[in-house]
Amino acid sequence: MRALVIGNVDDLDPGFVGQRLRQRGYVFSEGSRERPEEWPGLDGVELVLTLGSEWNVHRPERAALVAAEAALVREVVRRDIPLLAICFGAQVLSHALGGTVGPTPTPEIGWYDVAVDGVPVADGPWVEWHVDVFTPPEGFTVVATTAVGPQLITGGRCLGTQFHPEATETIVGRWVAEGGGADLRARGGDPDELLAATRANVVRSRPAAAALVDWFVDDIARR
């Protein structure tokens, strides 16, 4: 089964989510956000995965690239291809289909629990790393939240997560090393504490991510 993953060229790692999808029989093609003209076509694609990013949907310097990804999302929805959208990917999903995305006064960076409503997804702990918040598009249902905003939305054959189920220790370490550590310190956080929490929590988040993928594949993708 063919899957297409879209992410930034230096962060195209689907982590625990990709591991479980591969176990479920999916084979990935990759597309870099920075080069939409090189994205593989959707013919024969049975699942699309859009990853997180340090980008913001509303920043004008990324407008053309965000528009390209939003157009892809709309085409994925039009073709009724299952879509799993993570963090920035979920924000693009909302933006593409008529929801809103904007800065939150309370960024979430670290490991958090979420309040889950009636779906088979663990309440955490999950990695969060976002400074924006989104509202769901019309026809979507919010099924998990924190005090900051929606954390999990479903609509049709789409699932959007504000948290990062894919995040491995390697992924979080890369985020910290590639500028995220300085950003975290500027916001009063401690990169070393985040890395220690990651080492402790991936023991639970890995099987929780697999269970989330199973729910997506066995329920949402079959609607």
Positive or negative CA dihedral for 136, 99, 147, 178?
positive
Residue 19 lies in a domain: yes
**Confidence tier at 25 by pLDDT (50, 70, 90):** very high
- Residue 189 domain flag: no
Q: Using CA atoms, how far apart are residues 102 and 56, in angstroms rounded to an integer?
A: 8
pTM attached to this predicted model: 0.98
209, 166 Cβ separation under 8 angstroms: yes
Active site annotation includes 87 = yes
The whole-angstrom separation of Cα 81 and Cα 65 is 21
Q: Which of 37, 75, 87, 138 is catalytic?
A: 87
- Flag whether 199 is in a domain: no
- Is residue 179 predicted with pLDDT exceeding 90? no
Number of domains in the chain: 1
Percent of the chain with pLDDT over 90: 95
- In a domain, residue 105? The reply is yes
Beta-bridge mates of residue 27:
2
Let me know if 166 is a catalytic residue. yes
The predicted structure's pLDDT at residue 178: 87
Q: Is 158 a catalytic residue?
A: no
- Spot the catalytic one: 69, 158, 164, 178: 164
Amino acid at 28: F
Could you tell me the pLDDT band of residue 20, with boundaries at 50, 70 and 90? Answer: very high
Q: Average of pLDDT values for 46-70?
A: 97
**What average pLDDT does range 42-47 have in this prediction?**
98
Mean pLDDT of the chain: 97
At 88-145, the pLDDT tens digits run: 999 999 999 999 999 999 999 999 999 999 999 999 999 999 999 999 999 999 999 9
CA separation, residue 59 to residues 13, 136, 171 (Å): 24, 20, 24
CA–CA dist 157, 155 (Å, integer): 6
pLDDT for the residue numbered 181: 84
Domain containing 49 equals 2-167+209-222
Query: Is residue 127 included in any domain, yes or no?
Result: yes
Is 204 within a domain? Answer: no
Tally the C-alpha atoms within 13 A of residue 106's C-alpha that lie toward its C-beta: 4
Q: Which of 61, 95, 166, 169 is catalytic?
A: 166
Q: Is residue 132 part of a domain?
A: yes
Query: Taken in order 223, 151, 53, 66, is the CA torsion positive or negative?
Result: positive
CATH classification of the domain holding 34: 3.40.50.880
Provide the token pair at 140. 């979507």
- The answer to the question of residue 18 being in a domain is yes
- Within 8 A by CB and 6+ apart from 217, the residues are 21, 24, 47, 82
